[in-house]
Structure formats: C-alpha cells, structure tokens
Amino acid sequence: MRKAVHERLNVRDVKSFCPIQKEEAASLAEGLILHPEIKVFRHLHRVAASIGWRALWGFPTITIDGPDPTHRLDELGEDLLKASIPGGSLVDIFPPLRHIIRHSRYLMRKSNTWFEDMNRLSIHLYDTSCSSKARQEWGNSFGAALRDRERISGLSPQDEAWLTGQLFVASNDTTSTSLAYLVLAMVLYPSQFIKVRQQIDAVVGDSMPSFEDWEKLPLVEAVMKEGLRWRPPAPLGVPHVTSEDIRHGEYFLPKGTPLVANLWTISRDPALYTNAEEFDPSRFIHENGKLKQGTPDSHNDYLAFGFGRRVCAGKALAINSVWICLATLLWAFEFEPMKDADGNDILPNPMDFVDCGATVRPLAFPMKVIPRFPDLLQRIRASRDHSIN
Ligand code: HEM
C-alpha cells in the first residue's frame, strides 16, 4: 500500500495538486473576510478537509457556509486516532484478553460499528469518485488514479477504497492542527512575523502568494518549519509495535512491544535546538537571509512527520498545503489577541491543548482577524481569476 501511495504522493507528483491547494488557500482568506462570525479554527478545518476531499476523491470544494460532507469521516477518524494510543484499550495492558473480546459480540460492538461505517463510507466515496460522471465533472483524483493502475498496484478495489479513506483521516486533523498552531504563534509572538510579512510584500506585490514564489520566500518556509517543530501536531507520532525481538543497548524489547517516538521531546532536544520552548523561525535562517541546510539528524527539520520506513506518507502534500495556507494568511491578515476592559491583551495559554488521540490541537481562543489591505477581497479574487485564466 505504501508503494501505491508513494507513486502518487511523492514530491514530484503532488505538484499536480498545487492548483487545488492554491484555490483552497484563496477560499480560506475569502471565508475569513466574509464569515467573521465563524471561528477561525473552523475555517482551518474546512481548508484541510476540502484539500483532501478534492485531491483524494476529486469532489467539489467544501464551502464554509454549507454542509460539511466530511462530518462522519471526521468522527470515525477521531475514534481511530483515540484508539491508536497505547493504553487506550484494556487489550494493550492484558493482550490475552483479545481472545475473549474477539468472541464477544457485546464487547466488539463499538469496533464492529466503526468498521462497518468506515467500510461503507470508503467504498461509497471511492466508487462515486471513480464513476465516469464524477471524472467528467471534477477531474481526476488520487482514488481514480489508483483504480486506473489497479492491476499494477495489485490492490483490490476494497483495499483502494480503504486506503483513500484512511489517507483522508490521516491528512485532515494533522494539516488543520499545524495551521492552528501557526495562528497561535502569530498571536503570541507578533514580532517574529514582521520580517516574513515584509518579505512577502516585497515579493508578491498586490497578488496572493503562489507556489512559484517559494524560492523567493525562505522566511515562510522557516516559519512553517518552526511551527511544526514548536508544536508537532501528532506529538507522539503514530504508535508502532516491534515485529521481532530487539536488543537496543541495555534494553530488550520482545516482539509485540509498543514503541512510541516522542516527537515533542525530540523537537526540543537541546543538542538540536537552543531555546526550544521559544517560537523563533530565525533558527532556520542564515544572516544572509538564506534558509539553512537542515539540522543534522533532524530530517531537514521536519521531525513532525516522523522518520524511518513509516514516515508520514502524505508529507509532500502536507508541506505544500501548510506552506500555501500559511503564506496566504500572513499576506492577508494580522491575527491579534482580544483586549480586556482595561485594554490589556488577553493572551491564549500556549499550553492549553485538546487531546484528540494521535493529534493534540490548541484550545480554541477568541482573536481579532485584521485584513492587511482595504481591498483584500478584490485582490484575492483578482489573483484567483488570474491563476484560472
Ligand atoms: C501537517 C500535516 C501532517 C503531519 C504533521 C503528519 C504527521 C504524521 C506522523 C507523525 C506520522 C507517523 C510517522 C511515524 O510513524 O513515524 C504520520 C503517518 C502517516 N501520515 Fe501524516 N501527517 C500530516 C499530513 C498527512 C497527509 C496530508 C497525509 C495523506 C494525504 C498523511 C498520511 C499519513 C499516512 C498514510 C501515515 C501512516 C504511514 C505508515 O504508517 O506507513 N499525513 N503522519
């Protein structure tokens, strides 16, 4: 399965999704202007969901003021992410219990319902996206490309449907959470965003940032890396289990031992990062303004995606999504704390989290979203029309 994913989501091929990502970033900015009554995190959730919805199945965009067709998938994803944490089930503590549980309809009812719903939904979405009508209307997608290569990948249609559904689950919360932390950083550390906005203004002028500007905007990449380092959205990664007995130094790990890579702690390793608690994108930038080479042993400072053979399969797609949304938000808005009755800033607590299982997101907080240009809406629409024509 990893091979099938890699064939379509590698660094080169994900470029075909850039137009979708740019359009969705424009819709994010437009939505924040037109719907200030909707919470900022809800806008971030929409943009992540809509990119996945369009790239994986080729469906039309999800609007901020319309129904959310991904709602049930989100619920199923949340159950999965919670269940994946070691210790989340009694079986993790007493593995022999699984033989008893497996034969009890009562004890299996929750996981059976989860499986049936996920199966039905994944197959329905996959079949719909592969139908010729959908392809004509919405173009090609990850799922449709998989079906075209079915014989080569060796996966059954059911495998492909599941794979596409699971990619959506893996992509949604992680992407929106990384954007939420970046917005939190903008509110808490405004001085760290002055230079990057100056760089964006100098490079893009009146129009929205686009992927062609990437090389000219090293500070945006530095800010993105710092956001992912400062607050990895999946701080303990995805748990693994040893597939054989392992001896590591003085430790013996028998086959079947759960293993957790503590990305939160590794991203704070003082041997790699000084003042690690501080949000400071300049750690990734040379004096001459160029992006530094990745810190040794840090996977190019993208530890938030894990490492090794099970490194995040959607890393390239995710980096592009976060980059274009971040660049757009920085260009379009200032995010500021609310004030109390005496005019003092009400700062969110950076250690207030919501535990969603594998992902941990910041607790929502009220903030002011201030457009940086009086004609922002026209600029966004003009940039969008320009990229479509
Ligand atoms: C900023 C966004 C994202 C972050 C921070 C993130 C982070 C992670 C992490 C930490 C892992 C576990 C790696 C390990 O076990 O060592 C993972 C696995 C995975 N991710 Fe992501 N991810 C993101 C976006 C995405 C997207 C967009 C997709 C798909 C389109 C995706 C698909 C996957 C899959 C399939 C796995 C499991 C890989 C395996 O076990 O072989 N992720 N991700």
Say how many Å lie between the first and final Cα of the chain, rounded: 37
174 CB near ligand 1 (under 6 Å): yes
CA 163 to chain centre: 17
3-state secondary structure of 241: strand
| Rounded to 5°, angle at Cα 94 from 90 and 97 | 80
Q: What pTM does this model have?
A: 0.95
Tell me which residue has its CA closest to atom 34 in ligand 1: 313
Tell me the Ramachandran region of residue 299: left when phi exceeds 0, alpha when psi lies from -120 to 50, beta otherwise: left
312 CB near ligand 1 (under 6 Å): yes
Cβ neighbours, 10 Å, residue 184: 26
> What spacing in Å lies between the alpha carbon of 229 and ligand 1's midpoint?
15
Half-sphere exposure of 17 (CA within 13 A, CB side): 30
134 CB near ligand 1 (under 6 Å): no
Per residue of the chain (389 residues), what is the pLDDT tens digit? 778 888 889 999 999 999 999 999 999 999 999 999 999 999 999 999 999 999 999 999 999 999 999 999 999 998 888 887 777 777 777 778 888 888 887 878 888 899 999 999 999 999 998 887 777 777 778 888 887 765 556 788 899 999 999 999 999 999 999 999 999 999 999 999 999 999 999 999 889 999 999 999 999 999 999 999 999 999 999 989 899 999 999 999 999 888 899 999 999 999 999 999 999 999 999 999 999 999 988 899 999 999 988 899 999 999 999 999 999 999 999 999 999 999 999 999 999 999 988 899 999 999 999 999 999 999 999 998 777 65
267 CB near ligand 1 (under 6 Å): no
Which residues are within 8 A (CB) of 106 and not within 5 positions of it... i.e. 6 or more apart?
none
Task: State the fold for domain 2-388.
Answer: Cytochrome p450 (1.10.630)
Q: How many residues does the chain have?
A: 389
Which residues are within 8 A (CB) of 348 and not within 5 positions of it... i.e. 6 or more apart?
184, 187, 188, 337, 362, 363, 365, 367
Cross-sheet strand order for the sheet of 345-346:
345-346, 333-339, 367-371
Domain ranges of the chain: 2-388
